[in-house]
Amino acid sequence: MFKAYFDLFENDFMVSLTSRLEEMIPGGHMVLTVIGSDRKSNFSGILNDIVLEETVLGQENSRAILPQVTRSKASPESLLDSTYRNPQVFWRPRTMLPSRTAAQIPSAKTMISAAASAAATIVLLRSLVREYLPAEFRSYIFYKFETLINSFSSELTLVVEEYDNLNHNNLFKAAELYLEPIIPPDAKKLKISLTKKESKFSLSLDRYQEIVDTFNGVTLKWKFISKQVPMKYVPSSDNFNSTPISEDRFFELSFHKKHKDMVIDVYLKHVIKKSKEVKDDKRSLKLFTLRHDRMSGRRGDVWQSVDLHHPSTFDTIAMDMEAKRTIMEDLDRFVKRKEFYRRVGKAWKRGYLLFGPPGTGKSSLIAAIANYLKFDIYDLELTDLRTNSDLRNLLISTENKSILMVEDIDCSIELQDRLAQARAMTPSRHNPAAFNQVNQPQVTLSGLLNFVDGLWSSCGDERIIIFTTNHKERLDPALLRPGRMDVHIHMSYCTPCGFKMLVSNYLGLTEHPLFPSVEALIETAKVTPAEVGEQLLKCEEPESVLTGLIEFLEGKKSERSKREDGNRDNNEEPGAAEGELAQELDGNNGEVVKKEVDGSNGEVVKKEEGAEEADGENGKIVKG
């Protein structure tokens, strides 16, 4: 078998030499390299052994001299049957693989042992460095090394940490919200969550994941990094408790250093703007109320909230179209004038007073405003507060872009007569009940005025304060002036326009033969939108509902006529309960007018002109 392979190799070898010989030029040389081995089971091993044993070596430098050949006379056999006639061509053995005298390749066990020794040495050196070199010095060395490496790079990296000196970094949260919509569909690993105060799922990057963003033709790379650290405590969002954290979370924003100014001045502002849009799209409106245990030493937020799903909008509320348009234009102008308020030196807030009989839609209008602006509502009950300090603490604990609502302000606190309040501060000793009542802590008119228009009112931006009352005449004029209550909105009885809106919402009708009869009665019957809505709920058949509504309106009109006749007969003196005179600021001409108010329903039945009073810049009355 070996001889057959040897003969085949010899034949192939001769063919190869013949081909190479034909390519040689006269006087040329050929270098033939044969890889040797320490085994004799093949031809290359035999040649290698021949050279090593100097069987064909003719000189001390281990050269096998082969003849120089020409193309005309040389043959492959002449290369094998060589003599020493021409010393210019020679054979030099080169050991390509270990021979019997060469070193052996290290075994796998030896290599693993060497690697383990090297690793142990590195660990030992690391322990020694940590033991004997201060952390500050190590940080300095690492910083210098990183600086050296970065000096050869054109990339700049901005680090956005979650906390900045134990304070929440708003840019970190903005980056989380901004990156959520641009997460690529081929992302391998993401985090998904649903928080208690949101209605939609949230996606975010897992640790060490990257997102590539493009802005104005510039490529930017975001990378989220999270590292375990020793436990530490940071202030919570309510500023009362502390939250333990055991990891440092931050984003690395990398880009070409030549775009540094553009990224800081333009791109990051773009990130903040887009994050607000994402937050507004995800958030659910909240209705906040005071916690019942806020005074019992509990540390934490003084407000508790529920989701606000009130369906009222300006499209469904029963008001005149002109009044609704005026309110919406005022709201739009307010939210767009942040720089204007800053320039004129006023707190960015707006005060609204909603007054009118019960059932005219004051609460529905507040819900419509909240849905229109996407503002949360804080329902403040003044009777639950003991001191002015409590009122201030509640104010500073509310968020921006919110509505602070105080319903029935005339019933919440004694605000009408400050002289009476001053007299009450010096009660008679013979009246212990009055003495004890005065010494009981309470919110004062001065505290409420400072809350609405004092220094404390500037603790926050883009806030709307809304007071509601059924009896505007009972409020102190100091509370009604512009700057405190900028817009006065009269929520009147149901009008023909309001009726059409209600019947469209309840029955889906825009026209009906009975509409003229209903509209004529509504103008004289003086019924509230709540009463009309209750009648429309009784049946789904339009003809029956409208017929029943006409009967109801005729009955209300008859009752009203009888009541007015009785009032004229039994109460002719001015100043009686049914004819109480009240002052109201007229937004059209700035005059104070006297109105005779019907004590049974609060409706104005007569006006008399009075003394003039300067109208404020924004003070006005919108009649619904």
Question: Are residues 222 and 328 located together in one domain of the fold?
Answer: no
Helix (H) or strand (E) holding 392: helix 388-396
Q: In terms of C-beta density within 10 A (0-12 exposed, 13-18 middle, 19 or more buried), how is residue 158 classed?
A: middle
Least confident range of 27-36, 317-326, 532-541 = 27-36
Query: Over the range 498-532, which residues count as b (16 or more CB within 10 Å of their CB) and which as e?
Result: bbbbbbebbbeeeeeebbebbeebbeebbbbbbbb
In a domain, 107, yes or no: no
In a domain, 607, yes or no: no
pLDDT, tens only, 282-320: 778 889 988 876 554 444 578 888 888 889 999 988 888
Q: Output the pLDDT for position 165.
A: 77
Residue whose token pair is 């309960």: 577
Q: Using the 3D structure, point to which of 233, 248, 283 is the last residue of a domain.
A: 283
Question: Are residues 392 and 414 located together in one domain of the fold?
Answer: yes
Q: Is the pLDDT of residue 539 over 50?
A: yes
Q: Using the 3D structure, point to which of 473, 490, 507 is the last residue of a domain.
A: 490
- Could you tell me the residue range of the domain that residue 65 belongs to? 2-91
Give me Rg for the CA atoms of the chain: 47
Tell me the two tokens of residue 485.
């209550």
pLDDT, tens only, 131-180: 888 888 888 887 788 778 777 788 888 999 988 877 888 999 999 889 98
pLDDT, tens only, 544-586: 989 999 999 888 888 888 877 777 766 655 444 333 333 343 4
Mean pLDDT, all residues of the chain: 74
Question: Are residues 55 and 78 located together in one domain of the fold?
Answer: yes
The CA distance from 314 to 328, in Å, is: 8
Number of domains in the chain: 4
Question: Are residues 37 and 147 located together in one domain of the fold?
Answer: no
Q: Using the 3D structure, point to which of 264, 283, 302 is the last residue of a domain.
A: 283
Q: Are 225 and 207 in contact (CB under 8 A)?
A: yes
Per DSSP, the chain holds a count of helices (H) and strands (E) of 21, 21
The CA distance from 444 to 23, in Å, is: 115
- The CA–CA distances, whole Å, from 200 to 188, 283, 306, 311 equal 22, 8, 16, 19
Q: Is the pLDDT of residue 262 over 90?
A: yes
Q: Is the pLDDT of residue 541 over 70?
A: yes
Q: Is the pLDDT of residue 22 over 50?
A: yes
What is the mean predicted confidence (pLDDT) over 333-356?
Answer: 89
* Of 238 and 463, more confident: 463
pLDDT, tens only, 90-122: 445 554 444 454 456 777 888 888 888 899 899
